Structure 1
Amino acid sequence: MGALAHRARGQKQKAAFDALSPHEQRQARQPGLILFSLFVVLALCLALGPVLAETVDVKYRGPVDLAKFDCTGELDSSVVKRVCYNQENSYLLIRLKGTWYHYCAIDRTTVDALLAASSKGSFYNQAIKDSATGGKFGCRGRPVPPL
């Protein structure tokens, strides 16, 4: 199709579109708008997917994906800032100030008591920390769960 014929066809389409009522014009644009909206949503999902997956760097372990953990939000404690627990493996991740630590073979009752304690830092120091428990929940010498 030559340039002149192409231009004439475009003018006919524009004239036909202009002849439509405003309501009909909106309906004619709708499929394009729907496709564009779907494209934008898909692009956002693809871009934000990795952002929404949270990985933390655990001391003595390295990166751990929190997808398989039940995590608290930020806690109102000067020491214990966040707690994440994987009940299937009895595995605790705890952020103390700015550092993540891990504990193995820790029961749900102890984790619940930590979260309910009026002083989470004191509870951690007395009931979980290696130096207070003789390493009861420490991961040294125990298999660290593959997550």
Structure 2
Amino acid sequence: MSSTNRQDQHRVYSSAGDPLTTIRSLAAIITLLLGASFVEAETVEVKYRGPVDLKPFICQDITRSSFVNRVCYDKPNRYMLIQLRATYYHYCEIPDRTVAQLLNAPSMGKFYNANIKGSGSDGPYDCRSHRVPVYK
């Protein structure tokens, strides 16, 4: 091995074992971890319900609809939150299949109006006549 290769190899080992580099790396990792632990969960105000923490939900922002802005679904509880323009509404005991059909519909607004929305308390997933999940 030439002396140049040995010097380069020595530099690589020296910088990898440098205590200052190791401390800086650990400090960067700790800073990232501490920053992540202080991130607050997102809570939204739902019409006819009040604040709901989105932690148990899977949410999808919608960009292809002028009416539906976001859909959040808690599959184990079959509970959907939907943001229509600037307001969140909730729907209870809604099957995941219906939520998938909504998300894949050519017109989300038309699908919502025809299959989810009701008038009064007669909607197929109206929370006044279906079980509303309780969150802590």
Q: Secondary structure at the match of 1:64?
A: strand
Give the structure 1 partner of residue 123 of structure 2: 135
Q: Distance in 1 between matches of 2:120 and 2:106?
A: 19
- Residues 14-64 of structure 1: per-residue CA shift (max 9 Å, x gap): xxxxxxxx9386456x22222222222222232234447433222222332
1:55-74 pair list within 5 angstroms: 55-74=43-62
Q: Secondary structure at the match of 2:82?
A: strand
State the percentage of identical aligned residues.
46
Q: Secondary structure at the match of 2:61?
A: coil
* AA in 1 matched with 2:125: F
The number of residue pairs the alignment matches comes to 125
Aligned CA distance change for structure 1 residues 31 and 113 (closer, same or farther; 3 Å): same
Alpha-carbon RMSD across the aligned residues, in angstroms, is 2.6
Aligned CA distance change for structure 1 residues 46 and 57 (closer, same or farther; 3 Å): farther
Q: Distance in 1 between matches of 2:52 and 2:128?
A: 17
Contact in 1 for aligned 2:82/2:88 (Cα 8 Å): yes
Q: Distance in 1 between matches of 2:50 and 2:27?
A: 36
Q: Distance in 2 between matches of 1:136 and 1:105?
A: 9
Contact in 2 for aligned 1:127/1:133 (Cα 8 Å): no
Q: Distance in 1 between matches of 2:61 and 2:19?
A: 42
Give the structure 1 partner of residue 114 of structure 2: 126
* AA in 2 matched with 1:131: S
2:103 corresponds to 1:103? no
CA drift of 1:133 comes to 7.7
CA drift of 1:132 comes to 8.0
2:19 corresponds to 1:31? yes
Q: Distance in 2 between matches of 1:129 and 1:108?
A: 16
Q: Please say which structure displays the higher CA radius of gyration.
A: 1
- Residues 46-91 of structure 1: per-residue CA shift (max 9 Å, x gap): 2234447433222222332222222223331010111111111110
Q: Distance in 2 between matches of 1:94 and 1:50?
A: 27
Q: Distance in 1 between matches of 2:33 and 2:50?
A: 27
